[in-house]
């Protein structure tokens, strides 16, 4: 069940996404929150706390931000969602990336979906609680290896709590679900209880020495689409900003969580700076400027799609330089199934180009999870394994065994 839900997330998102315009002219309209052009910020060990969301973050969390910013100047980390729990052909002897390359990924993606599910009763025999314990164990294992941890959240709507895709909801629930969790809304207290659970997980993530493990949190992702109940068709720009700000303030200020970096994760529709900033909650609430993109890298898109994806990443890379933030390709992939063949050179040509062309500075790329007979990252038995290996062998493409210590400022 876990693998099924997580595997379909990207596929359905692709089906609902629409390709953005290939107009190369960027809208350079500046908002009051936009720094002057060419005023690139240099992040140093002395000033780094001035540019992160949580000025009281643990030293290790601050170091993670600093080192992600530093490594993005000439390299990027490669990760996968559920790398330690979802596998091609159910072969869980090691991560699929390690099977192919000899190293684990540099980044592990996890999800709060089952952790905050209404059926998680916290008892040892409960399937959802077992998933919670597995996720916690995987995060700790990844950190022990020096990897980066990032969480997304496929939170179910607040009424029946059965779905996160609007295609499975009634018109009434679609229309009022998001608005109901805003401050003053009928389900705002419900949302706070969900955040209480999230906070309890963050505070439970400790290493062997009892120190808090830094993580990245990417709530309400792909909000520019309309496949999730928090999507653009179901809330205004200001309402989205309100809940994003509330989420950070509640975790940081009310619950005292100080081991989290916060990522913004829209889908690929933003092809100008002004559009990207339209739902941007502000520099005080975002550490990592992200973008998910499957559509521009779909079968048949070829170099044209790669050019378009790179152009969009240039936008967030430039914004990150101007605002003292980190930029990343927070989710992508091309799913190979028994009836869908790999795209030749998808990793070594297209993804490598997307992540490096035109001097973009991106800290990481995360591929979606493998599951059953379907995969986003090949294992040695798959025909595109050599393509993935060629990609990861390129200079500046980092797996776990190539990471320096990300949790201390050198």
256-313 pLDDT, tens per residue? 999 999 999 999 999 999 999 999 999 999 999 999 999 999 999 999 999 999 999 9
Q: What pTM does this model have?
A: 0.91
Q: Which long-range contacts (CB under 8 A, 24 or more apart) does 280-286 make?
A: 280/33, 280/241, 281/240, 281/241, 281/244, 281/245, 281/248, 282/33, 282/241, 282/245, 283/33, 283/51, 283/323, 283/324, 283/325, 284/53, 285/53, 285/244, 285/245, 285/248, 286/53, 286/262, 286/325
- The verdict on residue 391 lying in a domain is yes
Tell me how far apart the 2 most distant CA atoms of the chain are, in Å.
57
* Catalytic site positions: 222, 331
- The verdict on residue 165 lying in a domain is yes
Which residue has 């520019």 as its token pair? 224
32-46, 70-84, 371-385: the lowest-pLDDT one = 32-46
What H or E segment, with its residue span, contains residue 198?
Answer: helix 188-204
Percent of the chain residues past pLDDT 70, beyond the cut: 91
Contact between 235 and 191 under an 8 Å Cβ cutoff? The reply is: no
- Band of pLDDT at residue 137, cut at 50, 70 and 90: very high
pLDDT, one tens digit per residue, over 66-94 is 999 999 999 999 999 999 999 999 999 99
What H or E segment, with its residue span, contains residue 398?
Answer: strand 397-398
The average confidence (pLDDT) of the chain is: 92
pLDDT, one tens digit per residue, over 197-236 is 999 999 999 999 999 999 999 999 999 999 999 999 999 9
| Short-list 347, 401, 339, 313, CA closest to 104 | 401
Q: What is the CATH number of the domain that holds 398?
A: 3.20.20.80
| Six-digit token string for 341 | 């063949």
Structural domain boundaries enclosing 54: 2-16+38-402
Q: Per-residue pLDDT for 31 more than 90? A: no
Nearest 5°: CA angle at 221, between 54 and 110? 75
Contact between 348 and 306 under an 8 Å Cβ cutoff? The reply is: no
d(CA 191, CA 170): 20
**Structural domains counted in the chain:** 1
Residue 370, CA distances (Å) to 25, 277, 294, 375 in order: 37, 32, 15, 4
CA 131 to chain CA centroid, nearest Å: 20
Cα of first residue to Cα of last residue in the chain, in angstroms, is 43
Secondary structure (3-state) at 176: helix
Residue 250, CA distances (Å) to 93, 116, 117, 192, 236 in order: 39, 16, 20, 8, 21
pLDDT, one tens digit per residue, over 306-340 is 999 999 999 999 999 999 999 999 999 999 999 99
Q: Per-residue pLDDT for 1 more than 90? A: no
- The verdict on residue 409 lying in a domain is no
- The verdict on residue 184 lying in a domain is yes
- The verdict on residue 29 lying in a domain is no
d(CA 364, CA 331): 10
* Integer-rounded Cα radius of gyration of the chain: 20
- The verdict on residue 408 lying in a domain is no
d(CA 138, CA 114): 15
């Amino acid at each position: 069940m876990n693998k099924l839900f997580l595997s379909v997330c990207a596929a359905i998102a692709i089906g609902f996404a629409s390709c953005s315009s290939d107009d190369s002219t960027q809208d350079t309209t500046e908002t009051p929150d936009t720094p002057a052009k060419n005023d690139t910020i240099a992040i140093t060990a002395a000033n780094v706390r001035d540019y992160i969301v949580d000025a009281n973050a643990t030293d290790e969390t601050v170091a993670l931000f600093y080192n992600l910013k530093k490594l993005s100047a000439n390299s990027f980390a490669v990760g996968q969602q559920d790398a330690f729990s979802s596998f091609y052909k159910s072969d869980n002897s090691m991560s699929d990336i390690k099977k192919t390359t000899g190293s684990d990924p540099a980044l592990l993606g996890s999800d709060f979906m089952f952790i905050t599910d209404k059926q998680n009763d916290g008892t040892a025999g409960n399937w959802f609680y077992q998933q919670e314990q597995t996720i916690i164990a995987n995060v700790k294992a990844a950190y022990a290896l020096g990897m980066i941890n990032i969480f997304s959240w496929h939170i179910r709507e607040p009424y029946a709590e059965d779905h996160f895709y609007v295609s499975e909801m009634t018109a009434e629930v679609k229309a009022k679900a998001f608005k109901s969790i805003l401050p003053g809304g009928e389900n705002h207290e419900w949302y706070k209880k969900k955040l209480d659970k999230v906070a309890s997980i963050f505070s439970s993530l400790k290493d062997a020495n009892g120190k808090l493990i830094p993580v990245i949190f990417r709530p309400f992702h792909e909000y520019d689409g309309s496949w999730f109940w928090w999507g653009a068709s179901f809330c205004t720009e200001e309402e989205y900003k309100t809940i994003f700000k509330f989420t950070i303030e509640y975790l940081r200020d009310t619950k005292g969580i100080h081991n989290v970096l916060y990522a913004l994760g829209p889908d690929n529709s933003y092809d100008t700076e002004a559009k990207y900033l339209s739902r941007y909650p502000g520099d005080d609430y975002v550490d990592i400027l992200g973008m998910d993109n499957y559509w521009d890298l779909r079968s048949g898109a070829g170099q044209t799609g790669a050019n378009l994806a790179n152009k969009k990443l240039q936008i967030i890379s430039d914004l990150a330089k101007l605002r003292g933030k980190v930029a990343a390709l927070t989710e992508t992939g091309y799913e190979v199934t028994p009836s869908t063949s790999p795209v030749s050179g998808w990793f070594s040509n297209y993804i490598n180009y997307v992540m490096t062309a035109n001097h973009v500075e991106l800290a990481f790329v995360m591929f979606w999870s493998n599951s059953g007979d379907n995969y986003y990252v090949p294992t040695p038995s798959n025909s595109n394994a050599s393509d993935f290996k060629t990609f990861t062998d390129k200079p500046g493409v980092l797996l776990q065994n190539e990471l320096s210590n990300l949790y201390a400022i050198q």
